[in-house]
Structure 1
Amino acid sequence: RVLAHVARTEGISQVTLAQRLEISAMTLGKHLERMEAAGLIQRQRDAHDRRAWNVFVTERARPKLERIRAIAQDIRADALRDLNADEERTLVTLLQRLRANMLNPFPQDQGAARLQRSVS
């Protein structure tokens, strides 16, 4: 997942990558250290912010990425094989809504009320 995301957003900062993957910066750092040691990614200091690191895939990673893409396409095709185009769009929309709900379990207008009920 990390490698695929870096490939889609070459030069992404570590901080932004951690946010997009919804993992801690420390967890991401450990993944990147292993990937860098394996020669799959390269980290470079950001030209505008010397505290930040930008992440790039290496040529060594390209064959692995192609294999990942092929496997992902096969899995997606298997999972969606009985859905028509409208059903697929509906599924994607619903999954996006579920994800948003899980990322924000207490919408502003309901958060205080839920919290109050849970402590009462």
Structure 2
Amino acid sequence: MPRKLESETIGMLLTDVSRLLRGAFDRKVNAMELGITPGEARTLIQVALTEGIKQAEIATRMGIEPMTLSAYLDRLEALQLVARVPDPADRRAKNVVMTDKADPLLSELMAGLREMMNAYTKGLDEAEREALCGNLRTLRDNLRRLDPCLAGREKGAVE
């Protein structure tokens, strides 16, 4: 007889929430008609968070292939939202920075995402939201510390 697995474990709940949030993010970005795809929006957010790091590091933080990131950056660069600049420590490498043109789009994007998250966290007061964020940070930090596959990854990675 097949075993009945518990579906309300931390891991299962996080997996479900992550999947649902990603879909909601994609739909929200598409509905906002910003002229960028959800993948490009995630990339733009990551560049804003990590201003001036190498492309390969951005791909690692996002958990995507470097070629996928390169395609997102090509499009964002063509829209003049990001720029690739020489890395001062490595002449062969390029770092990615935001342009001034990205500021209004990023502000609109983040306002829309805050609105979305406020709707999805309805029923949680400010203290509960802070506690949830704190608990998720602890879980993330423990995963980075204890999982050898994650060793050496930078803090603050965003999907």
TM-score (norm 1): 0.73
Which blocks of at least 5 consecutive residues in structure 1 are unaligned? Answer: 109-120
| CA distance in 2: counterparts of 1:45 and 1:81, whole angstroms | 44
Structure 1 residues 1-120: aligned runs within 5 Å: 1-85=42-126, 87-89=128-130, 91-92=132-133, 97=139
Superposed CA RMSD in Å reads 2.5
SS at match of 1:59: coil
Q: Which protein is bigger by CA-based radius of gyration?
A: 1
| CA distance in 1: counterparts of 2:59 and 2:110, whole angstroms | 21
Number of matched pairs: 106
Deviation (angstroms), 1:92:
3.8
Deviation (angstroms), 1:52:
1.2
TM-score (norm 2): 0.56
1:53-83, Cα deviation, whole Å (9 max, x unpaired): 1001111111100001101111111111101
SS at match of 1:39: coil
Distance 1:59 1:85, change over 3 A: closer
Structure 1 counterpart of 2:48, which letter? A
Structure 1 counterpart of 2:52, which letter? G
**Which has the larger share of helix?**
1
Deviation (angstroms), 1:89:
4.5
| CA distance in 2: counterparts of 1:29 and 1:48, whole angstroms | 21
